[in-house]
Amino acid sequence: MVSLLATPRSIYPALFSTFDSMIKTRILCSLAWLLTSITAIAQTNPFKIFLIGDAGDDEMTTQTLDSLKSVLNRNPNSAVFFLGDNSYKNALGGLLPIGYKGFDSTLETREKVLTEMNTLQGYKGAAWFVPGNHDWWNIMNIKRGQPKLKLEENFIEQNLAKNTSIQNPGNTYIPKNGTPGPEAVDLDNGKIRVISIDTYWLIISQFKQNRRKTAAAQKAFYQNLDSLMVDATAKKEKLMLVSHHPVYYQRAVKKLPTWLAPKRARQSDPDFPAYSKMSAQMIAILKKYPGVYFAAGHMHAIQYHYTDNIHYIISGAGSRLIHVSQKQAAQTPPQTANDCIFWNDKGFFEVTFYPGHENITIYHDEGRKKTDLSELGGGK
């Protein structure tokens, strides 16, 4: 006789055992399908970072900025960094296409910065501007240079605060207030950490008139930078540093002899002692983090180098160019198979982050052409 307290499971154990097994199998299959779907979505909609530098020399929108705007609007799951020299002020009231100054609130410099900010109209990603030496007016005294830099920072932040499409309208200029940083932003739900640094501050802080007041800040900067990178590595975040001055580069045009170069130009020459010391300190830290990216502008060319497990991007051809002859270019070919260099060519970079790997694309010919570096180090 069957007990009135007996359950179906106790009466038909084999049947329910089979049923449990079927449910477990279905749950496992559903989880596998979900993971596959998530991976597929990540592959089809990866996060991208766009890099353009030295774009502050045009009062009207150019083909390069038009190309950037078009690419940005097609890629909302992204961020863009303007890598310094966001405004140039030409000498003698604009009569000479050279000068040491940057943004000064005149119509000329306001329009130059506005052409860059106009590329962000309708863009749904995040955007940041990083300072360069022209944004400091190439002033060699930190205390005197900071107010000049603050003019530009305020103009950019006040205008982009009105932008209703970008993700970060209240925080678009980093590092802030003429400080060296490092300032970190985490992107793509914590999968990528981008650290901004003011390399011009690091260079001129070594000068006699600044050294006494900045020695402690310099030491703290490199310690803080290393700490941010250690933390990102522990969290398995991809790392990218963005700045204005490159620390690894290839030069085609010979520099002026030191005695001919004006003093205000020498401090931003890569061979200048303070610049060389900054580069050496930076590279020593970078070597501790295989796969790290270091993106900069300053050199008015497009270069990619991959050495010592470090990706070096130079995207300094947003509006100005180094004019390199065919002979000069032939004398300075890429040093390794991982290098890619475009002289006399305006454009910008795209770094795409897939699960487990990245890819680098160069937009050149003012952004009309694309070169995929997946066959070079850019596919690491």
Domain identity same for 16 and 53: no
Compute CA distances 57 → 86, 100, 111, 121, whole Å: 8, 12, 10, 20
Same domain, 127 and 240: yes
Same domain (yes/no): 126, 2: no
Q: Which residue has the tokens 């310094």?
A: 84
32 and 144 in a single domain? The answer is no
Question: Is there a contact between 362 and 302 (Cβ–Cβ < 8 Å)?
Answer: yes
Q: Do 124 and 184 fall into the same domain? A: yes
Which of the four pLDDT bands, split at 50, 70 and 90, describes residue 2?
Answer: very low
CATH value at residue 217: 3.60.21.10
Same structural domain, 151 and 30: no
C-beta separation of 104 from 151 below 8 A: yes
Q: Give the tokens for residue 246.
A: 């490159």
pLDDT at 91 over 70: no
Residues 123 and 14 in one domain: no
- The DSSP line for 243-289 is -SS-SS----SPPPPTTTS-HHHHTTSTTSHHHHHHHHHHHHHHTTS
Query: Do residues 225 and 265 both lie within one domain?
Result: yes
For residues 300-312, average pLDDT: 95
Considering Cα of 349, then 350, then 355, then 358, what sign does the dihedral take? negative
pLDDT at 39 over 60: no
Q: What angle do CA 302, 57, 87 make, to 5 degrees?
A: 105
- Count of domains for the chain: 2
Same domain, 35 and 157: no
Instruction: Choose the final residue of a domain: 44, 61, 79.
Output: 44
Are residues 128 and 26 part of one domain?
no
The verdict on 146 and 244 lying in the same domain is yes
Cα(33)–Cα(208) distance, rounded to whole angstroms?
Answer: 63
Residue 303 has pLDDT above 80, yes or no: yes
Using one digit for the tens of pLDDT, what is the confidence trace for 160-208? 999 999 999 999 999 999 999 999 999 999 999 999 999 999 999 998 7
248 and 342 both lie in a single domain: yes
Q: Name the residue range of residue 34's domain.
A: 1-44
Per-residue pLDDT reduced to its tens digit, 245-285: 999 988 876 555 554 455 555 556 777 888 999 999 999 99
